[in-house]
């Protein structure tokens, strides 16, 4: 059995710049308080590397990042987002939230966005609880779901 883990490590500076590394983790999303919706983020701003515990194959290695199938040591690219305005909400989540569905209806993107829109004036803890309640009322999870909510004041 192959064992691996996805991971996202990030830091937010006082000027609200979010710097992070991703090891095959779903990309973060930002809900804009000003625009009242999730912001589209270019794939160029969200480089992801293989999961921890695996080595990439020749078929999956990103040759623009490294020529070595032994890894990326010394070549990891730090993602840097300067997207967060006052009242914006950053969501970090696992693939369980991406896959959360009832019949053929997915919870992620539209329903999640509407729930965030409904509670965007609350604090991060209250937003988390509202999303958790809504997701569990929507459907029984088929996978574990982890969610981190960060709100800029």
Contact 4, 51 (CB under 8 A): yes
Q: Residue 83 domain-assigned?
A: yes
Q: Residue 1 domain-assigned?
A: no
CATH code for position 71: 3.60.40.10
Q: Domain limits at 27?
A: 7-151
Q: What is the pLDDT of residues 94-141, one digit of tens each?
A: 999 999 999 999 999 999 999 999 999 999 999 999 999 999 999 999
Please give the tally of structural domains in the chain.
1
What local confidence, expressed as pLDDT, does residue 76 receive?
72
Q: Are β-strands 105-106 and 79-81 bridged in parallel, bridged antiparallel, or unpaired? A: unpaired
Rounded to two decimals, what is the model's pTM? 0.85
Q: Residue 104 domain-assigned?
A: yes
Name the nearest CA neighbour of 20 among 150, 143, 145: 150
Contacts of 120-126 with CB under 8 Å at 24 or more apart are 120/31, 120/33, 120/36, 120/87, 120/89, 121/87, 123/151, 124/89, 124/149, 124/150, 124/151, 125/149
Q: Residue 2 domain-assigned?
A: no
What local confidence, expressed as pLDDT, does residue 70 receive?
55
Q: Residue 30 domain-assigned?
A: yes
Name the more confident of 135 and 73: 135
* CB within 8 Å of 32: residues ≥ 6 apart: 38, 39, 83, 85, 88
Q: Residue 96 domain-assigned?
A: yes
User: Residue 62: which pLDDT band, with cuts at 50, 70 and 90?
Assistant: low
Phi first, then psi: give them for residue 58, nearest 5 degrees. -60, -30
């Amino acid at each position: 059995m192959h064992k691996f883990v996805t991971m996202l490590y990030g830091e937010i500076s006082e000027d609200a710049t979010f710097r992070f590394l991703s090891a095959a983790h779903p990309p973060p999303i930002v809900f804009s308080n000003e625009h009242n919706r999730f912001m589209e983020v270019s794939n160029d701003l969200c480089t992801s590397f293989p999961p921890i515990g695996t080595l990439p194959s020749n078929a999956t290695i990103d040759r623009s990042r490294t020529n070595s199938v032994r890894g990326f040591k010394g070549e990891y690219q730090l993602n840097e987002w300067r997207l967060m305005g006052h009242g914006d909400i950053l969501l970090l989540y696992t693939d369980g939230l991406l896959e959360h569905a009832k019949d053929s209806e997915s919870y992620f993107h539209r329903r999640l966005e509407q729930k965030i829109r409904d509670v965007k004036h609350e604090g991060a803890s209250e937003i988390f609880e509202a999303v958790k309640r809504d997701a569990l009322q929507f459907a029984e999870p088929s996978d574990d779901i982890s969610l981190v909510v960060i709100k800029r004041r």
